[in-house]
Amino acid sequence: METNNQNNPVLNQEPMMQYHTGEPQALPMMGFWESVRICFRKYFDFKGRARRSEYWWYFLFSVVACLIWALFGTLLLALPVGMAVQHVSGNETAGLTTMIIILCIPLLFLVLPSVSVQVRRLHDTGRSGWWMVASIILEIVAAALPFALFGSDAIDFDFMEEFSRSFELSTAAGVADVGLTIATNAMSIILIVFSIFDSHKTENKYGPSPKYQQETNVCLES
């Protein structure tokens, strides 16, 4: 038996089409707590895009959180525990190491969201997240080089003093360290500059724009 579709309003409605008109419209700026909430929700998310307000509000949150913890964490927890460890062990280095560990562990929870939002911010400007990977590699190499060359003596090693002396091994290491430091700082500046750029107004290969929305009109197809 054939079904009569003449009176069915869904099946009989005319085809509709969408088209975009005008410039993409910017959404309202993301708020402070909204940014922090999103960054922690996307803790392990290195895909997609992040607008400027999301990145910079979380950056501000991280700086304030580090300062607060450095002050109150030191006075209320790290210093008392470190002094107790030093008193029990009789080793000043053990007490100092304990303080550093206590201060660093909570701050490590802020690192990964910082990296992921930086990668998404790069994506938002059309750039690869490998810029962030290159920056991390440079920082690791710059930090590890003195210890790889001089072991524990690297703590008291004055590279700038050696840099002004003869071209011995120590001075060559000093030149390498200075070069890496310059490269690391330059990369940090590059990432900051990239993070200042506005979002791409349209979809790029990393996804749709989190800031701009294209105005959409709907009409009946003739």
Nearest to 194, CA basis, from 52, 59, 63: 52
User: What pLDDT is stored for residue 23 in this prediction?
Assistant: 77
Nearest-angstrom CA–CA distance, 33 and 60:
11
pLDDT of residue 149: 64
What pLDDT was estimated at residue 94?
85
Backbone angles phi, psi at 126, to 5 degrees: 85, 15
List pLDDT tens digits, range 79-96. Answer: 898 898 888 888 888 888
pLDDT digits (tens, 9 = 90+) for 86-132: 888 888 888 888 888 988 888 889 999 999 999 999 999 999 999 99
Q: Which residue has the tokens 């930086």?
A: 118
| pTM reported for the whole predicted model | 0.76
Residues of the chain with pLDDT under 50: 1-2, 9-11, 19, 159-160, 162-169, 218, 220, 222
Backbone torsions φ then ψ of 172, nearest 5 degrees: -60, -40
What are the tokens at 206?
A: 């990393």
How far is residue 182's CA from residue 177's CA, in Å, rounded to a whole number?
9
CB distance 184 to 142 below 8 Å: yes
CB atoms closer than 10 angstroms to residue 6: 7
What is the number of alpha carbons within 13 Å of residue 110 lying toward its C-beta? 17
SS3 category, 25 = strand
